[in-house]
Amino acid sequence: MPPIDRLPQPMTGLILSGGGARAAYQVGVLAAIAELLPNAEYNPFPVIVGTSAGAVNAVGLACGALQFREAIQRLTNVWRAFHSNMVYRSDWSGVVGQASRFIAQHMLGFAGSAPVALLDNRPLRALLERELDFSGIAAAVRQRQLHAVAITAFGYESGQAVTFYQGRATIDPWFRHRRVGVPTRLKLDHLLASASIPLIFPPVKVNREYFGDGAVRQAAPISPALHLGASRVLVIGVSGNLQHEDANAVVSRVRGAQPPSLAQIGGHMLNSTFIDSLESDIESLERINLLSRLLPDVARARLGIRPVDVLVISPSQPLDQIAARFRHELPRAVRPFLYGSGATRSSGGAVLSYLLFEPGYCNALIELGYQDALAQQAAIRRFLNLDGAPPAP
């Protein structure tokens, strides 16, 4: 198989956004893409970038980049068998004990030696330690089947979105307003930091600073892939794909002014964190592409503007509605804490859609992602130039 450096350019980047349990959708899309590849070993994404739960999928792909289809299968197997107790303590003693520690530290002022959040995610650490072999990243980079992989976390002290990346030595770090790129050898703490949703999961100390979910204040989610050398990007989003809905249809659903539940408020805050920045960045990139095509070559070179092809695959159905159908899967010990907030009602499905790490819901998202990708397989084949990909050995 020829190394990536000799493959036809441009270099393709994969963007995997955050979203808790919603990231199961990404696995379904990737499974469909893997079936389209003529070579099971071929990695069509030299640059892989992930944030939050998307960072888990990104690192899983990068660790197995030498056997791409096999890496997808491993990810799929994990997500299909997911239960909440594999991500956070969901038993009565674990939930009540964690809630008591949270109240004691953050509301009563009893300081502790370690940060405390609403949920204890030590099971997630144990799961990732079992499933991920970080040495696979270095091996893939060394054999030129991976140019770089990056995950973003938010520094609570510095207020910066820090992209930790591992890849070719020719990649320079970058410094922008409140976002920097730092070369490093990725470890489990980087990944857990990127996936630590504020207040829900505890921050993780990396070097001298505590970090949390990378989606917080990540103004330009696509930017890291471009800094790492990607000249076109495939974005797998986790929004409800309502951006194409007619505005009048949205307004017509508003039946009357009802006080928002705590779950509705929380859902909008989570959507703002995980979805809005990515969709805004896609819109900005599309405008830059339009401007670039209108400018003569000399002007583009002077301004440093180059078009970046973008293909977006996002859910064809609202994920909060799917989550509401599976709310009965929520662990019994967690239900009382979400019942009062309205998260177990259909109007509170947005919060549920981020936390419902259960087989029924995750498998429904995997199937939806798979079908959505197959519906766009012609566009995917053109975008990835699969007809020109390396033939199967």
**Beta-strand runs (E) in 122-254:** 148-155, 161-167, 174-176, 179-183, 204-206, 209-213, 232-236
| 246 catalytic per annotation | no
Helix (H) or strand (E) holding 51: strand 47-51
3-state secondary structure 357-376: CCHHHHHHHHHHHHHHHHHC
End-to-end CA distance of the chain: 8
The amino acid occupying position 219 is: A
| 320 catalytic per annotation | no
The amino acid occupying position 393 is: P
CA dihedral 136, 140, 141, 146 (to 10 degrees): -120
Helix (H) or strand (E) holding 55: helix 53-63
Q: Give the residue carrying structure tokens 């370690």.
A: 114
Contact 307, 293 (CB under 8 A): yes
Phi-psi region of 20 (alpha: psi -120 to 50; beta: other; left: phi over 0): left
Q: Which residues contact 148 (CB under 8 A, 6 or more apart)?
A: 46, 47, 48, 141, 165, 166, 167, 168, 171, 228, 229
* Beta bridge pairs of residue 151: 50, 164
Which tokens sit at 146? 């991976």
Which tokens sit at 216? 């917080």
Instruction: Give the separation between CA 89 and CA 331, rounded to whole angstroms.
Output: 10
Residue tagged active-site, from 213, 281, 320, 372: 213
Closest CA to 15 of 175, 223, 306, 178: 223
Q: Phi and psi dihedrals of 155, rounded to 5?
A: -85, 120
Residue tagged active-site, from 52, 84, 90, 277: 52
Using omega within 30 degrees of 0 as the cis cutoff, is the peptide bond preceding 10 cis?
yes
Q: What residues act catalytically?
A: 52, 213
